[in-house]
Amino acid sequence: MQLRSKTAVVTGSSRGIGRAIALRLAQEGADVIVHGHAHADDAHDVAIEIADLDVKSHVMMADVSDARTMESFIDDAWKWKDGIDVWVNNAGADVLTGKVANLSFQQKLDHLWQIDVLGTIVCSRAVGQRMKRVGGGVILNIGWDQAWEGMEGDSGEMFATVKGAIMSFTKSLAKSLSPEVRVNCVAPGWIKTSWGEHHASEYWQQRAMHESLRSRWGTPKDIADAVCFLASPAADFINGQILPVNGGFQTSQQRDE
């Protein structure tokens, strides 16, 4: 119970990786604010699961891409338990499934930029300044392991640009908020969320497994475990870092060799 008596906020935690993170933090004793935008019922289901762990939960809905809305969200979240100890910027746009998948490259990039990048920056700066004033806190962002390597195709170009920006921002923010606040980033590899479960072709299924030294897809729990570690006192001397969670990345060419 490394996070007992701590208060955590996980943006985008009604489904997928965010849901797994919120539940994992709660398992370690944290009271958790579950955030969502379009899936209120799912967010409330997560909150019920958290309450079953004998910790407190609270659901808050807001559009991460709207800076003014998020300012109010942060005010209300801070007031819930008179402070926030852990803030996880997990909210991200899905441009691979649903209606957004049919938009143009430019429209998808704009959508990702507003939610993933600007949402992360606005929330991190506002929460970080509050944490710094009170003398402590942890901010965790979500990047992408292949932002360093690059990946071919429209999706690779978009995600490398967006997640690369978040990873660079993480390093700079860690310096701005030091020494009181720790800021780190988890960079997932191939994680089997909705796209991998229901939409990825056999080519992508095989590529995901071949590009990991563990020869498997990652799971939301893999990411949640890493986030939980970085949020805990056990990671107190880890700051300004990017942690790949991918089972050990290798290109398909390296695998063949």
Distance CA 99, CA 76 (A): 32
**What's domain 7-256's architecture?**
3-Layer(aba) Sandwich (3.40)
Q: pLDDT by residue (tens digit) across 93-151? A: 999 888 899 999 999 999 999 999 999 999 999 999 999 999 999 999 999 999 988 99
| 182 strand-pairing partners | 138
Closest CA to 140 of 16, 18, 4, 5: 18
Checking if the pLDDT of 252 tops 90, the result is no
Give the residue with greater pLDDT, 256 vs 24: 24
Distance CA 155, CA 225 (A): 26
| 218 strand-pairing partners | 191
Closest CA to 36 of 51, 47, 23, 28: 47
Give residue 254's pLDDT.
60
Q: Where are the domains of the chain?
A: 7-256
Checking if the pLDDT of 199 tops 90, the result is no
The pTM (predicted TM-score) of the whole model is: 0.95
Checking if the pLDDT of 28 tops 80, the result is yes
